[in-house]
Amino acid sequence: SPKPPSFSIRNAEFFHSKGVTAAARGDLQGAIQNYDKALSMGAEHGRFKAHLSRGLLLDRSGLHDQVCERDWAAPVVRLGLKG
d(C-alpha 40, C-alpha 46), whole Å: 9
| Amino acid (one-letter) located at 35 | Y
Residue 83: per-residue pLDDT: 46
Q: List the chain pLDDT tens, one digit each, 83 residues.
A: 677 667 777 888 899 899 999 999 999 999 989 988 888 886 666 667 787 788 788 778 877 677 666 655 555 555 554 54
Alpha helices in the chain (DSSP H): 7-24, 28-40, 44-60, 69-78
d(C-alpha 20, C-alpha 24), whole Å: 6
